[in-house]
């Protein structure tokens, strides 16, 4: 798994149409991104309303229905202790989606300020932050996440923190690059000349310009984070039983590949669909927010 | 040019230092005592104390770091506590396996990624373009470990065409070696192909709309010649740079894939070592792969500068 | 330009015959391929500690004694053993004309050297196993005398495992602590090569003392962690035998005409280790009152766990040895599930339900399924088990530190019942994670160590069992089976309860 920074050039603020409205207009012109957005909204609704939608209790075991193939009663079949897989896939959306979104939130919270400081201050501060970021990027992503998750102790929340920290360097790098490009612009120089304090310049003037590319990167990183959560749960370091997550369902399914293959198919498909939608949305946003395109 | 490269080289030193610190401290932050794991089921206190002393585990952590880094600087990566083998020996025996897998994955990624990328750029806006885009996205969006499981299920369990796992060296039996590595190589290559495809497409589109391509077209050259001779050559440089970076991540990033296909490479070595708290192995292997990654990064940068003279200043 | 058909034909014949000869040569050389569940650790009998390593040693290093299918101790490199009346001396007669893989003679001096190495080598894991031995005396070239600090009847059983493996003194002196990279022993096969995490290759030892019963030229061990993949390799013929097959795959193996299953109830047990007095965590939870632990016993349906998670293939149990073991106490049979009784016991103990329990579970899918079933069963009686999946390394430390209330723990089992009980229940012993301490139990465990034979020792163990059933800290759940699957061509293979793979007497049809 690699994380590639993708940065559209910083937008210039001088247009008649507001940037948000223009972006929405452009996004609407991309049906694939709209469909993806729709599916994401549906997935989120599924996660939020899981107790209402799920046909069964996701942790209710039934020893008479162990590893039964999909049927009219259990559309996706049952798992190794006779729980309904459809219910578990629906409930699993909670773990996977929140892991994706919250871990990226953590990465943004740590990464953006560091990137702003590095880009704005320059000098030793920049060198220190940048070299450390490089070092983190050079270490294998999953190994870092495994070590962090094991250190914090196994739980979904800790897995999110581990993924968030591991995903931070990419946002540091992106923010720093954009800050470097913008800080010599006239209006920033002007704001500085007027005597605005540093944090105000950073928040009021630089951040809004970095925001579009951050939004794009964040959307794409949610996709990566969902896979990362699945990988950690697959290794037993994420969601704790009996509550489901798609990754831990796959972990359980691996033993029954030959005699209950359906156990592996559904959670895998669920991960795939949500990841592809976040990727499509990210692509759409990138095009919509790129000031060079029309 | 020269100063730029030397400046980059100097920048590498603190990065490598930070890598060593990150890896070392993460290892030692982990709960769980390597001596207890080593001591096994019986958990005898005398044995545990003795292992602690033998591997300096009873020293404060900064002192342990100094012991380790002193060894590294004199070319000694330490010894695996679990296997009683020098880490450098483990690295040299695993490297060919991981390298073979990485090369095969890269070939698959380049053939699929660049090929489809060019096709979709040439047929921009048509059905083929959309199809290729979707394929690329599928490649990026499929979790590696799930794809691995599904491939094993299809080709090994159901059809029985390919061995489900294991590894055979190509020097021993070339054909069997290909059969054992093709599925993991595809799993790894498929993900990178998606990334390469998108970048190739972008770069090709830019090249196709550039002045020299327009000139070439105006000269009445065949479209095929324009695409292959003029556009492709220019578009491929950034793609190859990106490929170099992806290759670097492959060296250490194949963790779960190696786990699922039981390929005895770096990834499996690191994961086993992390779970067994075999500190020296984790530290040594990650240091090696991270340094390789950093070096490849540098080479890619230099290559980029070389082909883009404008960036030289 | 017509192709010269004669040349073509000739070449064809040559290629074909070369192929035939090649095949002929290949089938004359039998290479027996074994799939292991993990990569073994170092192959030095003094430094080794993994279960999977013992499987490799079974082909590589012979021991002074071995066990048979009835768990009797039988001589291997030894011929006989006699214990003095006071139980403080053991005289071992050795098998004559036995050679090590390097041609050196296996004699009393070699035995003295090996046992001394087990006892004194830095980092040796055999030290506690041979802890009772104070002196090793060479009586004559084929007789050794072990002098003991105090009578210790489990010693003979220790000599049936790694502590009884004899290594070539010459090779061990030369290699020092690197001996494990090229072990030299007196087993049926000698070491050829090892590629970490890939394979271990052994070849037939021409001067083996029992060579008439060895029918393979080569043995290759390949570690494959994933059980599905291991089975797939067996099915495709890339492996001849695989160990630790999941119980859920048994049906499939039995349905395949080309595969056979060798199974026997193992020496191992799986149980819930309950924190009684190991730091703070023992004060709330299951350590509150013996009745709380009895309530848990009645809340759990052992045969349902067996049916759901292991397809009914394992053996439910309630003691540290399985119900088929000669030491099993029939007066304490496995109790059935009784939720009402469990609720009454909880009420009698004055527990406010639901009683939250921090449940530490090792990180593997089977253990997780067992934990989930326990959680669901115990909930009906008024327990709230909170599962905490913990990787093995962390769980060991936390168990010792008392950082748990219940711990799903598997013990691989020892031939002698002492190995399944002493260190778990005696005060302050290394494996006593429960913190349980009862001087009466300590005295009884010591008494069992000083007596010889089932008839003398079983009554002592009965007393211990009675106390442990009432207030002990381990709730025994089930005994796994050794499940070894192999090709139908394998003939004469016998599976013993320790799970090791012994190739003596086995051949490919």
For residue A16, give how far its alpha carbon lies from the nearest alpha carbon of chain B (Å).
28
Residue C95 DSSP label: P
- Cα separation of B70 and B90, whole Å? 20
Contact A81 C309 (CB under 8 A): yes
Question: B179 burial class (0-12, 13-18, 19+ CB within 10 angstroms)?
Answer: middle
Ranked by mean pLDDT, the top range of A284-288, C121-125, C210-214 is C210-214
pLDDT tens sequence for chain A (294 residues): 344 444 444 445 455 667 678 778 877 777 888 899 999 999 999 999 999 999 999 999 888 888 888 999 999 999 988 999 999 999 999 999 999 999 999 999 999 999 999 988 888 999 999 999 988 888 888 888 888 888 888 889 999 999 999 999 989 989 998 888 888 788 888 888 888 887 888 888 888 888 888 888 898 899 889 988 888 887 778 888 889 999 889 888 888 877 888 998 999 999 999 999 998 888 888 878 776 554
Closest CA to A91 of A137, A55, A39: A55
What 3-state DSSP class applies to C383? strand
Residue bearing the bigger pLDDT, B197 or A85? A85
| Contact list, B159 vs chain A (CB under 8 Å) | none
Task: Mark yes or no for CB contact B143/A132 under 8 Å.
Answer: no
B50 contacts in chain C (CB < 8 Å): 122-123
Side-chain half-sphere exposure of B211, counting CA atoms within 13 A: 0
Query: Has residue C298 got a pLDDT over 80?
Result: yes
Most A CBs within 10 Å: which of C389, C395, C397, C485, as the mutation test of the A interface?
A: C389
Mutate to test the interface with C, among B33, B43, B94 (most CBs of C within 10 A): B43
Q: Which of C317, C398, C320 is nearest to C359 (CA)?
A: C398
3-class SS letters over C471-501: HCCEEEEEECEEEEEEECCEECCCCCCCCCC
CB atoms within 10 A of CB C488: 11
The answer to whether B79 and B85 are in contact (CB under 8 A) is: yes
Block residue for tokens 């450098």: B88
Q: Write out the DSSP string of C126-179.
A: STTTTTTEEEEEEEETTEEEEEESS--TTHHHHTTTGGGB---HHHHHHHGGGG
- Chain B residues inside the 8 Å CB shell of A261: 153
CA separation for the pair C447, C439 (Å, rounded): 12
Pairing assessment for the beta strands C31-36 and C241-242 based on DSSP bridges: parallel
Say which of A63, A240, A256 has its CB closest to residue C389.
A240
CB C227 within 8 A of CB A255: yes
Chain B nearest-CA distance from C345, in A, is 34
- Which residues 183-222 on chain B approach chain A with CB closer than 8 angstroms? 191, 195
Task: Give the span between the Cα atoms of C179 and C184, in whole angstroms.
Answer: 8
Cross-chain Cβ contact B15/A230 below 8 Å: no
Question: B54, C122: Cβ pair inside 8 Å?
Answer: yes
Q: Name residue, tokens 């963790």.
A: B255
pLDDT at C7: 47
- pLDDT for residue C22 is more than 50: no
**Helix residue spans in A122-261 (DSSP H):** 123-138, 141-152, 156-183, 186-193, 198-200, 207-234, 246-253
Query: Are A140 and B150 a contacting pair at CB < 8 A?
Result: no
Separation in Å, CA B65 to CA B32, B77, B86, B289: 18, 12, 18, 19
Smallest CA–CA distance, residue C356 to chain A, in Å, is 15
The pLDDT of residue C264 is 93
Nearest Cβ partner for A241 among C364, C368, C391:
C368
Residue of A nearest to B10 (CA): A131
Residues of chain C contacting B264 with CB distance shorter than 8 Å:
195-198
Nearest chain C Cα distance for residue B268, angstroms = 8
Question: Cα–Cα distance between B18 and B286 in angstroms, integer?
Answer: 12
* pLDDT for residue A16: 61
CA distance A269 to C454: 58
Whether residues B294 and A138 touch (CB distance < 8 A) is answered with: yes
Q: Is B149 helix (H, G, I), strand (E, B) or coil?
A: helix
Whole-number Å distance between alpha carbons of A212 and A182: 14
Is C225 close to B262, i.e. CB distance below 8 A?
Answer: yes
What does the block give as tokens for C493? 């293979």
CB contact under 8 A, C400 and B36: yes
Q: What is the mean pLDDT of chain C?
A: 90
* Whether pLDDT at C28 is above 70: no
Q: Please compute the mean of the pLDDT values over residues C87-113 and round it to a whole number.
A: 95
Average pLDDT over residues C125-146: 92
Strand C89-94 relative to strand C218-223, pairing:
unpaired
Rounded mean pLDDT of C271-294?
A: 90
Helix or strand run (H / E) with residue C328:
none
B95-100 average pLDDT score: 88
How many CB pairs (< 8 A) connect A and C? Answer: 74
Q: Which two tokens stand for residue A174?
A: 């992106």
Residue B172, min C-alpha distance to chain A (Å): 30
Closest CB from B11, B142, B293 relative to A138: B293
Q: Is B264 in Cβ contact with C195 (below 8 Å)?
A: yes
- Taking an 8 Å cut-off on Cβ atoms, the answer to whether C376 and A61 are in contact is yes
Q: B270 vs A140: CB contact, 8 Å cut-off?
A: yes
**pLDDT tens profile C170-197:** 999 999 888 999 999 999 999 999 988 7
Q: Please report the ipTM that was assigned to this predicted complex.
A: 0.80
Given an 8 Å threshold on Cβ–Cβ distance, is C42 in contact with B30? no
pLDDT tens track for B31-73: 778 888 877 777 778 778 888 888 888 888 888 889 888 988 8
Residue C13 has pLDDT above 70, yes or no: no
Chain C residues whose beta carbon lies within 8 Å of the beta carbon of residue B166 = 222, 224, 233, 238
Scan residues 36-95 of B and list those with Cβ closer than 8 Å to A: none
CB neighbourhood size of C257 (10 A) = 7
Test the B interface: residue of C35, C196, C200 with most B CBs within 10 Å? C196
Of the candidates B285, B276, B284, the residue with the CA atom closest to the CA atom of residue B82:
B276
Q: What is the pLDDT of residues A175-210, one digit of tens each?
A: 998 888 888 788 888 888 888 887 888 888 888 888
The residues with which C410 forms a beta bridge, in sequence order, are C270
Is residue C392 within 8 Å of residue B274, measured between CB atoms? no
Determine contact: A161 vs chain B, CB below 8 A.
no
For residue C127, which residues of chain B lie inside 8 Å, CB to CB? 44, 46-47
Helix axes C365-381, C339-348, angle to 10 degrees: 70
Q: Which residues does A contribute to its contact with C (CB < 8 Å)?
A: 59, 61, 63, 66, 80-82, 150, 153-154, 235-237, 240-242, 251-252, 254-259
Query: Residue C409 in contact with residue C271, Cβ under 8 Å?
Result: yes
Residue C18 has a CB neighbour count (10 Å cut-off) of 10
Residue of chain A with shortest Cα separation from C232: A258
């Amino acid at each position: 798994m690699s994380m590639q920074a993708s940065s559209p050039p910083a937008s210039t603020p001088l247009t008649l149409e507001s940037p948000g409205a223009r972006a929405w207009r452009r996004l609407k012109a991309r049906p694939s991104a709209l469909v993806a957005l729709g599916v994401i909204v549906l997935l989120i609704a599924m996660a939020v309303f899981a107790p209402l939608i799920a046909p069964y209790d996701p942790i209710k075991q039934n020893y008479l229905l162990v590893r039964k193939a999909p049927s009219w009663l259990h559309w996706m079949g049952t798992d190794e202790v006779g729980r309904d897989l459809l219910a578990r896939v629906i409930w699993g959306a909670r773990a996977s989606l929140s892991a994706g979104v919250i871990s990226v939130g953590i990465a943004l919270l740590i990464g953006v300020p560091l990137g702003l400081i590095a880009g704005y201050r320059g000098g030793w501060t920049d060198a220190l932050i940048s070299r450390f970021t490089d070092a983190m990027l050079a270490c294998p992503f999953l190994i870092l996440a495994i070590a962090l998750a094991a250190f914090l102790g196994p739980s979904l929340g800790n897995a999110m923190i581990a993924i968030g920290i591991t995903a931070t360097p990419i946002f540091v790098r992106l923010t720093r690059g954009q800050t470097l490009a913008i800080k010599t612009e006239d209006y920033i120089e002007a704001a500085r000349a007027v005597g605005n304090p540093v944090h105000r310049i950073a928040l009021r003037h630089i951040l809004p310009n970095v925001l579009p590319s951050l939004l794009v990167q964040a959307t794409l990183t949610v996709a990566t984070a969902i896979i990362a959560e699945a990988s950690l749960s697959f290794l037993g370091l994420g969601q704790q039983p009996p509550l489901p997550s798609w990754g831990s369902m796959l972990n359980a399914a691996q033993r029954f590949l030959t005699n209950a293959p359906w156990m592996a198919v559904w959670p895998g498909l669920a991960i795939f669909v949500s990841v592809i939608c976040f990727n499509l949305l990210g692509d759409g946003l990138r095009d919509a927010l790129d000031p060079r395109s029309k | 040019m020269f100063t730029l490269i030397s400046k980059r080289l100097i920048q590498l030193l603190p990065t490598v230092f930070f890598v060593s610190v990150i890896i070392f401290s993460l290892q030692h932050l982990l709960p769980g005592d390597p001596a207890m794991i080593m001591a096994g089921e019986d958990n005898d206190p005398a044995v545990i104390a003795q292992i602690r002393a033998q591997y300096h585990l009873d020293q404060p952590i900064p002192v342990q770091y100094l012991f380790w880094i002193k060894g590294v600087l004199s070319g000694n990566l330490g010894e695996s506590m679990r296997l009683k083998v020098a880490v450098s020996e483990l690295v040299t025996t695993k490297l060919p396996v991981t390298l073979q897998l990485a090369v095969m994955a890269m070939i698959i990624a380049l053939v699929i990624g660049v090929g489809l990328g060019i096709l979709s750029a040439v047929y921009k806006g048509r059905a083929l373009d959309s199809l290729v885009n979707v394929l690329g996205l599928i490649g990026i969006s499929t979790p590696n470990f799930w794809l691995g499981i599904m491939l094993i299920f299809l080709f090994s369990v159901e059809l029985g065409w390919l061995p489900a796992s294991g590894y055979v060296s190509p020097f021993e039996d070339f054909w069997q070696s290909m059969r054992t590595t093709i599925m993991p190589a595809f799993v790894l290559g498929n993900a990178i192909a998606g990334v390469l495809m998108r970048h190739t497409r972008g770069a090709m589109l830019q090249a196709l709309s550039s002045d020299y391509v327009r000139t070439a077209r105006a000269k009445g050259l065949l479209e095929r010649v324009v695409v292959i001779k003029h556009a492709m050559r220019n578009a491929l440089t950034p793609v190859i740079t990106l490929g170099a970076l992806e290759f670097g991540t492959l060296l250490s990033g194949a963790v779960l894939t190696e786990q699922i296909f039981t390929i005895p490479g770096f990834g499996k070595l690191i994961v086993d070592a992390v779970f067994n708290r075999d500190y020296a192995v984790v530290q040594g292997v990650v240091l090696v792969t991270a340094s390789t990654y950093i070096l490849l990064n540098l080479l890619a940068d230099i290559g980029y500068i070389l082909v883009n003279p404008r960036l030289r200043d | 330009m017509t192709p010269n058909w004669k040349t073509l034909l000739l070449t064809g014949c040559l290629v074909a015959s070369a192929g035939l000869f090649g095949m002929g040569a290949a089938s004359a050389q039998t290479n027996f391929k074994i799939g292991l569940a993990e990569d073994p650790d170092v192959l030095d009998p003094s430094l080794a500690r993994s279960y999977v390593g013992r499987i490799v040693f079974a082909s590589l290093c012979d021991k002074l004694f071995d066990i048979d299918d009835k768990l009797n101790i039988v001589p291997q490199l030894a011929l006989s053993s006699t214990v003095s009346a006071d139980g403080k001396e053991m005289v071992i007669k050795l098998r004559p004309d036995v050679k090590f893989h390097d041609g050196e003679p296996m004699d009393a001096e070699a035995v003295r050297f090996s046992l001394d190495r087990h006892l004194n080598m830095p980092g040796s894991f055999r030290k506690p196993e041979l802890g009772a031995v104070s002196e090793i005396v060479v009586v004559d070239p084929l007789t050794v005398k072990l002098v003991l600090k105090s009578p210790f009847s489990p010693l003979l059983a220790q000599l049936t495992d790694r502590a009884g493996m004899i290594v070539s003194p010459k090779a061990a002196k030369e290699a020092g602590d690197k001996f494990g990279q090229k072990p030299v022993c007196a087993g049926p096969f000698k070491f050829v090569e090892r590629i970490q995490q890939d394979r271990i290759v052994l070849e037939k030892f021409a001067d083996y003392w029992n060579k008439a019963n060895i029918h393979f030229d080569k043995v290759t061990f390949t570690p494959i962690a994933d059980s599905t993949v291991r089975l797939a390799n067996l099915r495709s013929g890339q492996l001849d035998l695989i160990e630790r097959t999941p119980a859920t795959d048994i049906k499939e193996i039995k349905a395949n005409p080309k595969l056979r299953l060798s199974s026997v109830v193992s020496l191992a047990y799986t149980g819930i280790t309950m924190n009684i007095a190991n730091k703070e965590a023992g004060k709330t939870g299951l350590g509150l009152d013996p009745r709380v632990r009895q309530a848990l016993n009645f809340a759990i349906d052992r045969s349902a766990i067996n049916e759901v998670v292991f397809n009914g293939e394992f053996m439910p149990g309630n003691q540290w040895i399985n119900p088929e073991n000669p030491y099993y106490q029939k007066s304490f049979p496995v109790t059935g599930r009784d939720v009402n009784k469990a609720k009454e016991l909880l009420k009698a103990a004055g527990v406010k339900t639901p009683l939250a329990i921090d449940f530490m579970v090792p990180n593997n899918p089977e253990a997780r399924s067992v934990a989930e079933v326990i959680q669901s069963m115990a909930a009906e009686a008024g327990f709230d088990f909170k599962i905490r999946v913990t990787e093995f390394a962390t769980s060991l430390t936390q168990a010792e530190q008392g950082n748990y209330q219940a711990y799903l723990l598997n013990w691989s089992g020892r031939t002698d019942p002492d190995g399944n009980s002493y260190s778990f229940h005696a005060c302050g012993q290394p494996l006593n994670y429960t913190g349980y301490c009862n001087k009466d139990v300590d005295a009884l465990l010591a008494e069992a160590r000083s007596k010889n034979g089932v008839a003398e020792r079983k009554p002592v163990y009965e007393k211990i069992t009675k106390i442990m059933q009432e207030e002990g800290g381990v709730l025994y759940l089930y005994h796994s089976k050794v499940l070894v699957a192999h090709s139908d061509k394998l003939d004469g293979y016998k599976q013993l309860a320790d799970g090791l793979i012994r190739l003596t007497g086995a051949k490919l049809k």
